Chain A
Amino acid sequence: MTVEDLRELAEKELARQAEFKYRILYCSSAGCVSSGCDAVKIELKKTVAELELSKKCEIIGTGCLGLCGEGPLVIVYPDMTLYQHVDAGIARRIIEEHVGQGKKLKENELDLNDPFFATQKKIVLENMGKINAESIEEYIAADGYEALAKALTEMVPEEVIGEIRKAGLRGRGGAGYPTGLKWDIVRKGVSEQKYVVCNADEGDPGAFMDRSVLEGDPHRVLEGMAIAAYAVGANQGYIYVRAEYPLAIDRLRTAIKQAERLGLLGNRILESQFNFRIDIRIGAGAFVCGEETALLRSVMGRRGRPKVRPPYPSEKGLWDKPTVINNVETYANVAPIIRDGSAWFASIGTQKSPGTKVFAIAGNVKRPGLIEVPMGIPLRKIVFDIGGGTPEGTQFKAAQAGGPSGGCIPTEHLDIPVDYESLQTVGAMMGSGGMIVIDNTSNMVEVAKFFSEFCMDESCGKCVPCRVGTKHIHIMLDKIIKGEASESDFELLKELCVMVKETSLCGLGQSAPNGVLSTIRFFEEEYRAKLKKQDGKQSQQESSVIAAKEV
């Protein structure tokens, strides 16, 4: 396939779509699958067949539409009508009334001018609700693989990296390392063999950004990886997906086959000299394999345990060769940057953190779901405008950003801009994009215990502070909750948390105590309320003993 063939294919597909008066897209992501979109699909198709409307409208499964709590969702084009809580009966009425008679179903219609939609800015999720998640033709018709064609025909690898650097794209996996810089190190690495790896081992509780992207728009990730491979000079890529995402794995497999069939992956891509293959590796359920060095070991078929950095994977990665490893969302940002230019991308978000960030909002919030917002947006907007605030009768208490290893952001910091640096100033972190809203019905010590238990279970056991330290943190929190802990236990807990944070080998251990440390920072009174009551004399005695011990 040549670049001309690609454009011809896009036009043919657009012409095919134009033949239908209505295009009805139902959300086929895991959220809506669990709320019953399969029945909706069957009913939609059945009704279309019954009423002989198959020439007039087509039924398509699309990516996540965002409002996961209101599913199953159906969107009708060309008039962009979004329906919520669709069941078989409503599905039938959509065909009969909306398609048949041109009458909208007012009671199920969602207002697209609602702040939930209006506050968002979609780059990574731009194709969600617009294209068929399983069709490469529809992706190509939506300017897909145009960026790869541009890179291969008009740009040398240095220019591709230059664009990514100028755009200021930073790793969306959480640490925020400049992507262009990473690619540049790999490109300069002297080796005949280099690799490109995609980290899709999303494991934070309540986070589903990467899953949604892979399920709804897999080609975007493949295209981003191919551009990265061209830029650094790699010919082999791996996508490491966790086994808990069967739908994402299915869609990726389909997408890779489709791209190979059209010559967009494999040898001599778009008739150029560039070869690139992508293979899938499936994780076996270890959270720590989201850590890059552990992930690479797992790809090589070894036990998923992190190793000391440096050397970083960009110097010595897979089989000791220079390796680019980025998160799903990072790769998803690559094609739009190359397509629309770095200046456009850099104009979105903040100066230090350009672009957008996808968040999965969950927890005590009225409208959980998948959102994409420009960087630097105040947290208040995410929680209240988009998420709709906490349920009736409760008050917002904190937002947990960055998964189990992130930190809690309390009410007084609600106006903090959401970007890499600002979140760190309050002891939280961007993380991969999980955002759990906590209201005043939850106790923060219990919250901390939940996250510490997660980190303890997921510790690989390689280094001592994380293996034994997380166990003791959990034991101590349990003791506090039972009301059996004393002041000195609390002090020891704090000391242990700081030590585990500073001495652990990998990111998991270094951030495992964050949940405890940040809840202590902002909600210390909730811990103190659970400590054993002592009269002044006793506690004084005890504290002098502690002081003696420390000397």
Chain B
Amino acid sequence: MSVITFTINGEQYSAKEGDTILQVARDNNIPIPTLCYLEGLSTLGACRLCLVEIEGTPKLLPACTTKPTEGMVVKTDTDKLKRYRKMIVELLASEGNHQCAVCVMNGHCELQDLAYEVGLDHVRFPYLFPKKSLDATHKDFVMDRNRCVLCTRCVRVCHEVEAAHVWDIAGRGIDCEIIADLNQPWGTSPSCTSCGKCVNVCPTGALFEKGATIGEMEKERGFIKFIVNARKKHEWVRVAEEDE
């Protein structure tokens, strides 16, 4: 197997063939914020938080989908990138109805963490206050579209890991929404296996367990990587590790 040597923020790192910039960065504790990325799921490059600068490339590229090449010079923490990341979180905050103080995920929410990470202290854009629906028809879980950031982790985990494909996206642009089957109440969905994978991968409080109250909902995300590894590499024993 060939090894690729390249530079991140002035330091040299080596990557196995097939590794992405993000994987190498994570292995070496270089922080790159992500939202739509989750280890074990297919990569999307949609949230644009992991954009990095690459010398000789006029466009910013997502670290989660870009593979390093020999001698590549990558920068992950320039002022420009920091400014853009902050603005992306700012846009997300203005898009939904994110009231942390009354949210089941308060304290465990990835969007909240991101806001701290990029230093978002206020939002300059007008809040859109969309009138989104809440689906509590499922016996165990609730989907509150007001808190959804459209990362499509639930769509991907349901399709790729559980192979049920309950979730998909309806609408276009700012009106995009996650729907169950052919836009029917979740509880009536014949394809849902009630496995709860979507709930656990959801970065915000959009998907949560019934009965959880403010700040009580905690999610476990590492198991997706475990399931995928078990299937692909036949690693049946789960190594204890911190959840992302």
Q: Which A residues have a C-beta under 8 Å from some C-beta of B?
A: 286, 303, 307-308, 456-465, 467-472, 475, 492, 495-496, 499, 502-505, 510, 549
Contacts and interface: CB of A to CB of B under 8 A. Distances in A.
Contact of B125 (A286, A462, A464, A472): A472
B181 to A, nearest CB: 15
A462 B171 CA distance: 11
Contacts of B174: 456, 459, 461, 467-468, 470-471
A131 B207 CA distance: 62
A459 B59 CA distance: 20
Interface string B142-179: 00000001100000000000000000110111111000
Interface in B56-95: 59-60, 62, 65, 83-84, 87-88, 91-92, 94-95
A292 to B, nearest CB: 16
Chain B interface mostly: loop
Contacts of A504: 48
Nearest to B35: A464
A505 B47 CA distance: 9
A532 to B, nearest CB: 16
Given A465-B88, A499-B84, A505-B48, A459 B124 contact: no
A467 B173 contact: yes
Interface of B: 43-48, 51, 59-60, 62, 65, 83-84, 87-88, 91-92, 94-95, 124-126, 128, 149-150, 168-169, 171-176
Nearest to B95: A468
Given A467-B174, A502-B60, 9 more contacts: A460-B173, A462-B44, A462-B46, A465-B88, A495-B87, A496-B87, A499-B83, A503-B48, A505-B45
Contacts of B168: 303
A527 B75 CA distance: 36
B172 A460 contact: yes
Contacts of A459: 172-174
A461 B171 contact: yes
A461 B172 contact: yes
Contacts of A461: 150, 169, 171-176
Residue from B43, B169, B173 with most neighbouring chain A CB atoms (10 Å):
B173
Contacts of A463: 45-48
21 contacts: A308-B44, A308-B62, A463-B47, A465-B88, A465-B91, A467-B150, A468-B92, A468-B174, A470-B173, A471-B95, A472-B126, A475-B126, A492-B125, A496-B87, A496-B125, A499-B84, A502-B60, A503-B51, A505-B45, A505-B46, A549-B124
A460 B171 CA distance: 8
Contact of A502 (B84, B149, B150): B84
Contacts of B46: 462-464, 505
Nearest to A288: B172
A463 B174 CA distance: 10
B52 to A, nearest CB: 11
Given A465-B88, A472-B94, A286 B48 contact: no
A426 B172 CA distance: 32
Nearest to B91: A468
Nearest to B48: A503
Nearest to B81: A503
Nearest to B62: A308
A463 B47 CA distance: 5
Contact of B60 (A457, A492, A503): A503
A538 B180 CA distance: 52
Contacts of B65: 308
Q: Which 10 A-B pairs have the closest CB atoms?
A: A461-B176, A308-B45, A459-B173, A468-B91, A471-B174, A308-B65, A468-B95, A461-B173, A503-B48, A463-B46
Nearest to B126: A475
Contacts of B150: 461, 467
Contacts of B51: 503
Nearest to B80: A502
Residue from B45, B60, B91, B92 with most neighbouring chain A CB atoms (10 Å):
B91
B48 A464 contact: yes
A505 B46 CA distance: 7
Given A286-B172, A460-B172, A504-B48, A469 B91 contact: yes
A342 B133 CA distance: 60
Contacts of B88: 464-465, 503
A216 to B, nearest CB: 32
Given A461-B150, A492-B124, A499-B87, A468 B94 contact: yes
